[in-house]
Every structure is written in C-alpha cells, then in structure tokens.
Structure 1
Amino acid sequence: MPSPLTALLKPFLRDRLLHILLVAGIVLTLYQPAAVSSFPRWIDWPTIVTLIGLMLLTKSVELSGYFVWLGRRLTLRMRNERTLALFLVSTSALLSTFLTNDVALFIVVPLTVTLKKLVGIPVRRLIIFEALAVNVGSLLTPIGNPQNILLWNRSGVGFLTFIQSMLPLAAVLMVLLWLAVWLFFPSRTIRPATADAEATGKRTLLWACLLLYVAFIVLVDLKMAFPGLLLVAIALLFLDRRVLLAIDWPLILVFIAMFIDVKLLSQLPFLQPVAAQAAALHDGGLYLTGILLSQVISNVPATIMMLNFVPSGVTLAYAVNIGGFGFALGSMANLIALRLANESRIWLRFHAFSIPALLLAALLGWLLLPASG
C-alpha cells in the first residue's frame, strides 16, 4: 500500500504537460536569469485563486453524490444517446455564454463523467464536444471568456454591440456543432439508471456548496478573490476536508507555469522586432497571427500580447476566439475539460475533432468577418 506522501506526489510525477512546461521554463530562464525575481508578479493570482475556488466547489458537489442523482434524472427523461448529447452540448454552450467557459465545464464535465458510470455512454467523445461547445458559446458575449473581457474593456463598445459583431460567427459554428453531434452520436436507446440509496447524497455538503458558490462569485466580482477562497477552504475543512486534497492540484501548477513561460517567451530579444511589426499588420495578417499565436501560447496570453501592439477590434476578437480550437493549448478551457475527463487517450482523440474544427472555423470566420473589423 503506497504511503500518503507517495499518493500525494503521484499526480505531479505523472503529469507530462506540467513536466514540459517546467522544462521550457527552465530553458527560457537560462537566457534571462535576472527574471526569476519577477516570476511572482507575472502570475495572474486572481485567476489562479478563482480557478482553485471553482475546483474545490465542483469537487465538493461531486463528492456530495448529487451529480449521480442528476444523472439518473437525465437518463430517465432522455432515453436516446443523441438527444442526451445534444442537450449536454447545448447546455455547455449556453452556460459558457454568461458564466464563462471554465465555469460551464466545471459544471457539465463532472456530470458527464457520472453518466458514464451510470449508463456507459461514450464519455470521451461527449466531453470533447462539450469543450468545443464552450469555445463556441463563450465567443458570443463580452463576458464569455477572459479574452473577450480584455477586448471589450479595451474597445469601449457597448455590450450589445459586441454581441452583434460576434453573433454571425457564433451562430454558424453552433449550427455546425449541432450537425456534428447529430452525425457522431447515434440514435441509440440508453438504459435509464436505477435509483438506489446513493442518490440521497449528502444534503448538507450540497447546499453549503451552493451557498458558498454564490458567495465566492460575488467576492470574485468585487475583486476579493483571496478572501473568497479563504472562506471556501475554511468551510470545507469542517464540511469534508477530503476535498482539499482531491482536486487536480497539478492543473494549478500548469496554469502558473503557463503565465511564467509566456512572459519569458515574449521577452526574448529576437522576438522583439517581430512583435513590433505586429502593429503594421493588415487584417489578413492580424487574423492569421492571432489564430497561430493562440495555438502556441493559448488565446488569453495571445490576446494580452497582441493588445500591446494592435487596437482591440472585431478582427482580433475573431482570431483569438477561433484560436481556441485546434491544439489543446489553444484555450485554457480545453485543458480544463481534458483534465476533468481523466480519460486515457482523450488527448489524441480531442485533436482529431478540434484541428478540423479550427480549419473550418478559420475559413468561415474570415468569410463572416465584417469589412470594418
């Protein structure tokens, strides 16, 4: 039987993405050793704290047993695999529109994993489509994802004006996503899950987490993410302290390493002239650069970097949102979905769907892009 220390370290030792980011950070630091003292201020701590809080609350609801209860209710009402897939994909897109893509995944993916245990649906494919769905749904509004919040604040346009600009792309991609779900999920009857004692769950933990969720979101909105996390952590110490160790802590280190690596990369001397030329890019060059840069460093860091040289506009908004498709690194939401899935071989299968989605979205986005973008 492994020791508690071995069990604690095992997820970190098995995390290949974390290892790659750490090695990249070490190599980049060799070129800029003086930058080490700046690492703490390069990390977007409110984002990290918010992520930890959401992971703690979602894991608490999962341990309460109520994802099992909700899963049973869904299978009783939706006996068809295609119908269930359409519902979950549509729910993912809708939630991401106003709750952000990360929050939508923290709600939908654990529920989907529970459905696999109940009725044996193809959970890998479904989670991949949910990841695609939150990228589609979140691009519609200024508050759907972090890059849109940045772009909206910089642009100065109204809330509805932003939505109007993004609506053509969101609508076309959502219709295509529905068609893809129709094609890849058969109209096969699924057996409804039977009720058992587990469905009662832990009511105290569930209701406490729902109240904590509301309080946490309010505190985050008031720029008080740190007190919000402290509130959640203290409450869970009394409610169910298992949660504090059960979340995916290596994922937190992945995001911390990403912030540092991207900043180190952007400060390499040979990249400075290239970055300076971004200000002179025409619409086509800006569009292609935003998409490709998102594939390399993720779309949120790509947005931050490009806003240093070009103004916020529809072209950039289309580019970095479309850049969320393709490689898993294109969007932090992709990483969250794949990590929450905890399924073997899902990373390879994700790219089999996401890379064609990137190529198609890039073509359609260019065709739909307003002339004044």
Structure 2
Amino acid sequence: MTALVIFLVSYLGIAMGRIPGLAVDRVGIAILGAIAMVAFGAVSPQEAVRCIDFPTLCLLYGLMIISAQLRLGGFYTAAAEKVLKFSNRPRLFLLASMLLSAVLSALLANDIICFAMAPILAYSLKRAGLNPIPFLLGLAMSSNIGSASTLIGNPQNMLIGQVGRLSFEDFFFWAYIPSLFSLVAAFGIIAICYRKNLIIEKIETMDENDMDWPQFNRWQTGKGILAVVVLVGLYLTDIPRDLSTLSVAGSLLLSRTIKSREMMTLVDWHLITLFCALFIIIHGISLAHIPERVLEFLSQKGFELTQPVFLTGVSTVLSNFFSNVPAVMLMIPCLNKAIPEPWYILAVSSTFAGNLFLLGSIANLIVVEKASEHGVLISFKAHARIGIPVTILSLLVLIVWTWL
C-alpha cells in the first residue's frame, strides 16, 4: 500500500508538472518520489541502485555527446542555412525543413535537434518575410514523427529498445512506414491550414548581436557525421548498443579544439536524473505486484495490451497525462519480451502522441521556448489546431499498419 500511495502521488505531481506553492518541477517531483520509496522501505537502497538500467543511461548519454559534437561543429547551423535557400518557395521550404528535421531526429535525439534548429529558423524566417509559426510547428511535429522510426530517435525509444532487447534494423523496417505516412500527413495539414498566411512582411534589419550559433567547422562536423555512420554500422552487429555508443562518444572527447567541458554542458543531466528516479518508483510498485494485478483485472474485462488498438489508446492517454517517458516506464513491465510487436506499437504510439498537445513532448516545449526568445509566440491553441489532426491521422496510420 505504501508503494502505491507514493507512486500515485509522484505520478500526479509529474502530470501536473509542479507542486502548488513550491518551485519544484517534474524532475524534482520524481526525485522526491524515489527518495520516498527508499525512505519508507518500499525499495531498499541496494535495490534502488540495482533497478536502474545503466545500459539505457549510457546509450542516452553517449548519443547526447555525439549530438553535442555536431552542434559545436556548426552542423545544425549549416543544415538550417542550406534549407533556407528554399525560402522563396514557402511550401517547398516547409517540406524540406520537415524532412531534414525528421531524418536528423531519427539518427539523434529529437530534443537536441529542436534545441539547435528552432532559434535559427525563428530568426531567419522572420528576416525572410515568412510566418515562422507553421514552420516551427513543422519542426516540432516532424522531429517527433521522425524520431519514432528508430530506437535512438528519442529517450523513450532508447529505453524500449534496451529493456525489450529489440533489433535495431527490425524495428526500423517496421516503424519507418507509419512514420513516413505520418510525416506526409503532417506536412499536408500544415500546408492546408496555413495556405493563406505563410508570408508576412519582410524585416530588413534585425539585431544579430545575441546570436551565438556555432559557426560551421568542416573538420569537427565531419567527425560528428563519421561518428553517426560508424554508430549505425555498429548497431547492426551483435555488439551491445550502449557499449558501441559510449566507445564512439569517448573517441569524440579526444579533441584538441573542443573542450570536453563544452560537450558535457550540452548533456541533458535533468533527463538522465528523471530516468534514474522513475526506475526506482516503477520498481517500487513492481515489488508490490501492482502491474500484475492491473493486468489481471484488465484481462478479466476483456482488455489485453497485446491488442493494438487498446495498447495505442492507453499509450496515447498516458503519454499526454504524464509525458511519454514516465508513461512508457509505467507500461513496460506489462509487456512480454517474447512478443516484439507490442513493444514496437508502444514506441511509435507514445512518440506520435507527443504531437497531440503542447505539453505532450519536451521537443514541443523546446521549440516554443526558443521561438519566444526571438519574438515568435506559439500558443497552446495554435499548436492544438495542428497537433490534434496530425496525431489522429498518425495513430490511424499506425493502427492500419499493425493490421496489415
């Protein structure tokens, strides 16, 4: 009972994103929940250490280092500037920017892609006389959709791939089809909804003093791209993904120009801490056999998580209520490792669900925050106007794909 109470209070706080009267965020709430699990004896200190999936953390950490190499090498800046050449043809530019975002997010963490590209697009689009909002919404939507197609595209997929021991190539060949069709649907919805107001008044002069985008460096960017190519090749072998990722990331730290401290500052330590805390909270309710009781109850009512529609619906609701990483951690203990398809559905559906509302994905919040720094305000309503139909179509595509 103690573990259940701590779990419910922690997840309610995570869903709210705050504790009234206190300046504590989702990560802080998760940490307090993990501490409570240990302090009240639901999880022993030794179990708290053992239950943390360190291979998943190593994979996440290594990919952040590789992304940091590309960012500091100016790769994201150069990529955004290349796409801006299509700015005189707004719809083609929208398509090109969404394709770029989707591909990059499939290979690297989508949050970092949004963090790097959102300010560049917000500034450059205003200067080019284009309405930044549809293009920035396209960046957020496409980064989420693209990241769903691989096991390294976002944190929840990394976790699912590691815990479920999923094959990198098998998952890709299963997930890229619904991701591709969903990307086309997202482009079509944005192009239709903003068909009359893609263009605004051109701004000839804008202050560039606050721009701190890393300048393009051919050598440093080349190192980052080579690291990604080598990494994908290693993922197709039997070498553990966490070991491959750490090895490649470690080689990038051996640099004569980029300080390791600079790369470390771009690691999302808050996200890693959130993972650790959630592992402990979920382990606490697992020791109390709560997931098994819930599954038994659902089974008696005729609902099974092996049913694609039911699994997709539960994943979508929980991902928007708790955010996708906590939702995935909650559902993973209920899946059978011998049956890979439910793991595939959970990965793709929880990622697609992030587009439904503004708070459903960290990538969404990053785009909104970075855009606001350049005077571009994206409201909850503006996001929902695109996000709701995009998510509905994406999930329909996923369900049809599972039937096929």
TM-score normalised by the chain length of structure 1: 0.69
Which residue type is aligned with residue 90 of structure 1? L
Separation in 1 of the partners of 2:59 and 2:101? 20
1:206 matched to which residue of 2? 221
1:8 matched to which residue of 2? none
Separation in 2 of the partners of 1:142 and 1:210? 18
Q: What is the CA-CA distance between 1:350 and the residue it aligns to?
A: 8.7
Alignment gaps of 5+ in structure 2: 1-21, 207-212
2:47 matched to which residue of 1? 38
Aligned ranges 1:228-307 → 2 under 5 Å: 228-235=248-255, 239=259, 241-277=261-297, 281-282=303-304, 283=307, 285-295=310-320, 296=322, 298=325, 300-302=328-330, 304-307=332-335
The match for 2:124 among 118, 125, 147 is: 118
**Contact 1:93/1:136 (<8 A) preserved:** yes
Q: What is the CA-CA distance between 1:33 and the residue it aligns to?
A: 4.0
The match for 1:324 among 333, 351, 360 is: 351
Separation in 2 of the partners of 1:48 and 1:209? 21
How has the CA–CA distance of structure 1 residues 191 and 205 changed in structure 2, closer, same or farther, with 3 Å as cutoff?
farther
- 1:73 equivalenced with 2:82 (yes/no): yes
How has the CA–CA distance of structure 1 residues 69 and 172 changed in structure 2, closer, same or farther, with 3 Å as cutoff?
closer
**Contact 1:68/1:115 (<8 A) preserved:** no
Which residue type is aligned with residue 220 of structure 2? L
Counting matched residue pairs gives 350
- 1:370 equivalenced with 2:403 (yes/no): yes
Separation in 1 of the partners of 2:78 and 2:250? 29
For residues 21-64 of structure 1, the C-alpha deviation after alignment (integer angstroms, 9 at most, x for no partner) is 22333344455443332233322323322322332333343333
Q: What is the CA-CA distance between 1:182 and the residue it aligns to?
A: 0.5
**Contact 2:105/2:146 (<8 A) preserved:** yes
Which residue type is aligned with residue 370 of structure 1? W
How has the CA–CA distance of structure 1 residues 192 and 28 changed in structure 2, closer, same or farther, with 3 Å as cutoff?
farther
The match for 1:62 among 47, 55, 71 is: 71
Greater helix proportion: 1
Which residue type is aligned with residue 25 of structure 2? R
For residues 340-359 of structure 1, the C-alpha deviation after alignment (integer angstroms, 9 at most, x for no partner) is 77435879569735455445
How has the CA–CA distance of structure 1 residues 305 and 210 changed in structure 2, closer, same or farther, with 3 Å as cutoff?
same
- 1:187 equivalenced with 2:188 (yes/no): no
For residues 298-334 of structure 1, the C-alpha deviation after alignment (integer angstroms, 9 at most, x for no partner) is 3643553222498443x6644552232445899x993
Task: After superposing the two structures, state which structure 1 stretch, 345-354 or 123-132, moved more.
Answer: 345-354
Separation in 2 of the partners of 1:226 and 1:218? 14
How has the CA–CA distance of structure 1 residues 139 and 210 changed in structure 2, closer, same or farther, with 3 Å as cutoff?
closer
Separation in 2 of the partners of 1:339 and 1:268? 37
Which residue type is aligned with residue 258 of structure 1? L
How has the CA–CA distance of structure 1 residues 133 and 251 changed in structure 2, closer, same or farther, with 3 Å as cutoff?
same
**Contact 1:64/1:202 (<8 A) preserved:** yes
Q: Percent identity?
A: 19
**Contact 2:150/2:172 (<8 A) preserved:** no
Which residue type is aligned with residue 403 of structure 2? P
How has the CA–CA distance of structure 1 residues 172 and 39 changed in structure 2, closer, same or farther, with 3 Å as cutoff?
same
How has the CA–CA distance of structure 1 residues 63 and 285 changed in structure 2, closer, same or farther, with 3 Å as cutoff?
closer
Separation in 2 of the partners of 1:309 and 1:152? 6
Task: After superposing the two structures, state which structure 1 stretch, 55-64 or 320-329, moved more.
Answer: 320-329
**Contact 1:291/1:322 (<8 A) preserved:** yes
The match for 1:90 among 92, 96, 99 is: 99
Q: What is the CA-CA distance between 1:201 and the residue it aligns to?
A: 4.0
Aligned-partner SS, 2:44? helix
Alignment gaps of 5+ in structure 1: 1-12
Separation in 2 of the partners of 1:50 and 1:160? 17
Separation in 2 of the partners of 1:116 and 1:105? 16
Separation in 1 of the partners of 2:258 and 2:104? 30
Which residue type is aligned with residue 187 of structure 1? L
How has the CA–CA distance of structure 1 residues 261 and 85 changed in structure 2, closer, same or farther, with 3 Å as cutoff?
farther
Q: What is the CA-CA distance between 1:227 and the residue it aligns to?
A: 3.7
**Contact 1:236/1:243 (<8 A) preserved:** no
Q: What is the CA-CA distance between 1:274 and the residue it aligns to?
A: 0.9
Which residue type is aligned with residue 305 of structure 1? P
**Contact 2:65/2:264 (<8 A) preserved:** yes
For residues 130-174 of structure 1, the C-alpha deviation after alignment (integer angstroms, 9 at most, x for no partner) is 3432443455578874477479967x9x949963x984x445533
